[in-house]
Every structure is written in structure tokens, then in C-alpha cells.
A and B are shown apart, each in its own frame.
Chain A
Amino acid sequence: MTSTMTMAQNGIATTEHKTFSRETSVSIDVSADPAIIWNLLVNASDYPRWNATIISIDGRIAEGEKIRLKSTLAPKRVFKLKVKSLVNGKEMVWGDGQGTRTYKLTHNADGTTTFAMSEKIGGFMFPLYAKHIPSFDKSFEQFAADLKKEAETIHSIKK
């Protein structure tokens, strides 16, 4: 986990700006089994049902697979991303040439699960287009809040 991810707690996103990159991160504690959260994160077609920041994700979320994501941040764009790595139930990395998004789950001793998400964008040309990229903060906070709500709803189903 990056240092910025450690700093961003309780569903409040933070963004660290550097000359050639920008990194936004958020984390939130979820009262649910990590398997529930993980399944929400890897079921591509189900995202729009529970996640207000995602318009659609086409494709299969599995290591090496390519997915096509439409986000409310840029509804007219289709982001073609590759699932770069995936450790089942723990960590997943998506990305393209400009950025990398990391999802991480940590099972805590008190039964909760910490969900952390970060996205780093950048490169040598980054200073030229940085001002055209909207802030991810609100979208990240919404993502984390929606995930928490959905996972806790599932977790609370009567036995």
C-alpha cells in the first residue's frame, strides 16, 4: 500500500500532486466478509446496479483480461483497461498506459475488512494535460461508500 493510501481513511479521499503524476486514494472499513467485497469487485456486469460511479464494465475481470469501462466522471469515454494482476480475495490492479488503479482488501482482527483503492496517473507528458483531468476525489468517496453499503447489506442477510 502506498503512503497516501495509508493516510486516506474513513471514506475520505486524498490526492497527492507531483510534477509528473497524481495519486488519489481512499480507504474505508466495511463490516462484511472480504469474500463478499471481493465478489462485488470482480463481477463486471453487476457494477452499475450498486455503484453510482460506474455506467458499465464490459468484459471479464480476471488476470490478463481486457475490460471496457464507462465512468460517470467521463461518460462519453470508454476506458480500455487491462487487469494487470489479481491476487484472489486480496488485491487487484487495472490500468492502461496513463494510469494504474489498485484495489486492496485487508481482513482485520475485529471481523471488519478494510477496502483501499488508489489510482496513480502520470508520465512525462502529464504536466501538459493534468489540468484537463477532473478530480477523482468525490468519485472515489462515492465508490467506497457504495461498496460499503452494498457489502454490509449482503452481510446482514438473515442466516
Chain B
Amino acid sequence: MTVELFNQEFESILGQLKSYLLRITASVHDVEDIVHDTYLKALDKLSTFRGESSLKTWLFTIASNLAKDNLRFQKRWTEDVTDVCKQEALANRQFFQEAMQIRTTSPQGLFEIKEHIVFCFTCISKSLPLQQQLCLFLKEVYEFKVSEIVTILDTTEAMIKYYLHTGRSKMIQIFDGRCALVNKEGVCHQCSELNGIFNPKQKFQEEVVKIELAREANSADKERLFDLRMKIIKEIDPFDSGAAELQLHHLEHNRVVMEKYV
């Protein structure tokens, strides 16, 4: 493969690679570093790329290894990350001032419920063991086959299936217990609370019925609701959406809080 062709293909995969790394690391700074290192490493090893897997699989393999190195000494977050970070945010006037500034001045400062769903999933998925989190995103969001994930994570098919199933089951269990969008008894109402803060004129109930996940909450089973949640995540690029700046600011806040908390 020529360097020119590689550059073209890298560019076409870049958006997915960045969003994947953000979902794994929750750090824009780390994403930039890992993307940079992935590019350099891939370019350096380009002569060894035989096309036995797709270039996308190869690049995700390099990026995943770099991300794993980056995360090796970081503790996993906790399931109640949104509760913990909410308490910290409520005591942090500067956080809200910055968020309101983004809300009123940034072209990517809208508050969208769907985008908060994506943000929330990113935070809570960091409570899974890393291998489960990686498998879940690779399969459910980036649509790699199990055989490709075997290559990316360099483990067996049985282990990938185990990580996928347990990761998915755990996330279904967490959202079923917490998320008021899918369970009336759910303890977390942050999307409606934040909608009230950032979109005071927008009625939450009118907005939320536009979301398939919420519409089907009473009729669909847990697996279906999880699939609908993943569908939302697939549709939204956290770096290139109407609420990107607002959500990235919120994510950075949570990352800093969790680094101290865990």
C-alpha cells in the first residue's frame, strides 16, 4: 500500500477511530495523543501490512493496544459515576458558568437528550472491565465481526464472546436499574434535569417521545431497549454533533472527578 493511499484511508477512518478512543479513554487529550501515535506507528509498519485484515481492523488494533497501555494504570470508573459527578458539579459554580457560556456561544453548544444518552453510556461503560468495554464498542457500535475483534484484541473467539455477553448483560442491568427513560423506578433523571437547565423552554416530555428508546420503554424487552440505545450511540459522533462542545466539556468534568474518586 502506498503512503498516499494509506493517508486517504486513514483520513476516512479517522472519525470512527477518534470517537472509539474517546469512548474508551473519556479524554480528548488522550484521543489526540493516541491517534497521533497510531498514525506514526502504522506508517512505520506499513510495509508489514499484508492485507490479511482490513486496514480499519489493523488501525483499530494498533489504537486499541495504545489505549490499553494508556489505561493500564487507571482504575475503572464506578456504576454510579453520574451520581458522583452530579454532586461534584452542583458544588462547582465554575463548571456551570463554563457550560452556560458554551451553551450560549458555541455552534456545538446545544443540549440534546440523545447526545446526553450517548455521553451517559460513555461514562457508565467505563465501569466495565476494559476488555468488556472494548468488545462492546467494537461489536455494537463499530460493527466489527467477532473474528475481527479476535484480531484487534489478540484473544480467542470464546473470550470475545464471553466479554461481549457479560459486558452487554451488565450494561442492560445497570440501565434497567438506573435510567428513568427506560424504567419508571429508575433513579437517574439527569437528562431531564439538564434539559431543564440548558433548554428551559423545551418541554422534556415533548422531546423525549421523539426518541424511540423512550417510546418503547413500556413495551419492548430489555435486549431491544439496549439495541435502541446502541442505535443512538452509532448515529452520533461525539466530536462532530450539535452538542459536541457541551458534552465534551461535561465529559472532561466527569473524567477529572472520577480520577480523584476511584
Max chain A C-beta neighbours (<10 A), residue from B156, B159, B165, B173? B165
Q: Which DSSP category, helix, strand, loop or mixed, fits chain A's interface? A: helix
- Interface of B (DSSP majority class): helix
Which of B145, B159, B161, B166: most chain A Cβ within 10 A? B161
B165 x A39 contact (CB < 8 A): no
Q: A154–B165 contact, CB under 8 A?
A: yes
- A157 is contacted by which of B156, B164, B170, B173 (Cβ under 8 Å)? B164
**In the complex, which residues of chain A have a beta carbon less than 8 angstroms from the beta carbon of B170?**
46, 49
Contact residues in B for A158 (Cβ distance below 8 Å): 146
CB closest residue in chain B, given A46: B166
Residues of B near A39 (CB, < 8 A) are 159, 162
Taking the closest CB of chain B, its distance from the CB of A65, in whole angstroms, is 18
Which partner residue on chain A sits nearest B164 by CB separation? Answer: A157
Number of A-B contacts (CB under 8 A): 37
Q: Once bound together, how far apart are the Cα atoms of A36 and B161, in whole Å?
A: 8
A34 vs B162: C-alpha distance in the bound complex, in angstroms? 11
List, in ascending order, chain A residues with CB within 8 A of B146's CB. Answer: 157-159
Q: Which residues of A contact B70 (CB under 8 A)?
A: none
* Contact surface of A with B, Cβ cutoff 8 Å: 32-36, 39-40, 43, 46, 49, 153-155, 157-159
| Shortest beta-carbon contacts, A-B, top 6 | A33-B158, A35-B158, A154-B165, A159-B146, A157-B161, A39-B162
